[in-house]
Amino acid sequence: MKFLPQQNSSQDRDTTSLLNLKRLVFVRIVAIAGEIIAVAVAVLGLGMHLPVLLLTIVIAAHALINLFAWLRLRTNKVIGANEFLFQLSLDVVILTILLYLVGGATNPFVSLLLLPLVVAAAVLPRVHVSVMAVLVVFAYGLLMFTHQPMPHVASHAGKDFDWHVIGMWFGFLLAVIMIVFFVLRMAESLRERDRHLAQARERALRDEQLVALGTLAAGAAHELGTPLSTMAVLTKELEQEYTQDEELQQRLLILRQQVDRCKETLSMISASSGQLRAEGGYRIQLDQFLTAVVDDWRKVRPESRLEFTVSGVDPAPNIISEKGLRQALITFLDNAADSSPDDVDMTCLWSDRHLQVVVADRGAGVPVEFKDHVGKVPFSTKKEGQGLGLFLAHAIIQRLDGTVAVSERPGGGTRVTMELELDRLLLNE
């Protein structure tokens, strides 16, 4: 089956980071135009004596920075949080230099230092927002003590105006605190909501696939029931007819076991109603359940070598013999044996309410491009594979409130780690 990649949350984040930088480039264009207009109005319209040459150099530097940001966008590479923070920090530096040249903290545009902080609070993590808050507060404080005074202000400035500037600084500090605590929290809530929506959308897509697979499985179970029953009858008749042929008897035994396994699987599919206890069978201790699963698997895969280890509290907890969990464990073992039939390890560790199962092999491992999609969509690296086994196994474990993690095995190979809380499997004593 060909694998069709789906857009995941990491791809969404990459697109969003590029879009944020694109918006920042546009805002800078507006800001640069505003800086040019403000200087022109002050010098030509109001007749102020400003350091026009220095202001022009700083504005040109701002335009150059924006040009580099636009060229960075054209690479389509991921924009990390640190890089975006650096871009905002450049804006703070440019704005601080401009304000230094035209009155510092006495300039009515000093509150524009809040804009980079607002942007940071909307799109960056908490640590980066804190860094930006410290930077803008430091810039404002620096402008209070060192700047080139504006001509029309210097001639009328006095003690009362100094107190006015100090009051403006406290107002600015209050605005910074409000942004950090409220805007940041609201932005984090929105990002958390988006994450939940993405997860819900992913679950809905997976459930839709499972419903389609369930419908096909039910039809297949109905269609295959009759030929399997016929095969079972013929196998039994052949065993009775050729009782003297030991080699044939052995082969017929293997064939009958395979037929019985298929019939059991079809019976489970047909009987499944979505309820755990309907799918479960009987009461059994956890260690006995795991041992029975391995024994059944060894009968089907006698050519494979499995190192089986179990440990946990004694006595082991009593659970429901959950057929879905049994099938998931067999799927993990089958995949491992397909990759390295001579070297498969299964380690089981349990407590009163928790089970961990690790299945490891020495195969080629899962390709890097597939690792983010394991268990999310059907796919297979085998030419004859349909990609349904691992997908369904993940779905079964998730239905039991468990998790499955696929990682590289030290020394080569793949390691599948299943973590499962036993609350839904424990019997009420």
Give the C-alpha separation, 326 to 260, whole Å: 16
Q: Does the structure show a pLDDT above 80 at 35?
A: yes
Residue ranges per structural domain of the chain: 9-202, 213-271, 276-424
Residue 219, token pair as written in the block: 């039809």
Residues counted in the chain = 429
Whole-model pTM above 0.75? no
pLDDT, one tens digit per residue, over 315-333 is 888 888 777 788 888 888 8
Q: Does the structure show a pLDDT above 80 at 299?
A: yes
- Rounded mean pLDDT of 320-348? 85
Q: Does the structure show a pLDDT above 90 at 27?
A: no
Superfamily of chain region 276-424: Histidine kinase-like ATPase, C-terminal domain (3.30.565.10)
Q: Does the structure show a pLDDT above 90 at 57?
A: yes
pLDDT value, residue 276: 39
Q: With bands split at pLDDT 50, 70 and 90, how would you rate the model's confidence at 278?
A: very low
- Rounded mean pLDDT of 250-262? 81
Quote the mean pLDDT of the chain: 76
Q: Are 312 and 276 in contact (CB under 8 A)?
A: no
pLDDT, one tens digit per residue, over 193-214 is 777 777 777 767 766 666 666 6
Q: Does the structure show a pLDDT above 70 at 153?
A: no
Give the C-alpha separation, 268 to 327, whole Å: 10
Q: Are 2 and 373 in contact (CB under 8 A)?
A: no
pLDDT value, residue 364: 76
- Rounded mean pLDDT of 228-235? 80
Q: With bands split at pLDDT 50, 70 and 90, how would you rate the model's confidence at 173?
A: low
Q: Does the structure show a pLDDT above 60 at 279?
A: no
For residue 52, which amino acid is it? V
Q: Does the structure show a pLDDT above 90 at 423?
A: no
Q: With bands split at pLDDT 50, 70 and 90, how would you rate the model's confidence at 61?
A: very high
Task: Render 265-288 in DSSP notation, one character per residue.
Answer: HHHHHHH--S-HHHHEEEEEEHHH
pLDDT value, residue 4: 37
* Strongest mean pLDDT among 102-116, 281-295, 367-381: 281-295
Q: Does the structure show a pLDDT above 50 at 1?
A: no
- Rounded mean pLDDT of 243-255? 83
CA distances from 307 to 53, 62, 346, 357 (A): 79, 65, 6, 13
Give the C-alpha separation, 136 to 331, whole Å: 57
More confident residue, 185 or 26: 26
Q: Does the structure show a pLDDT above 90 at 50?
A: no
For residue 199, which amino acid is it? Q
Angle at 170 between CA 169 and CA 175, to 5 degrees: 95
Q: Phi/psi of residue 383, each to 5°? A: -60, -40
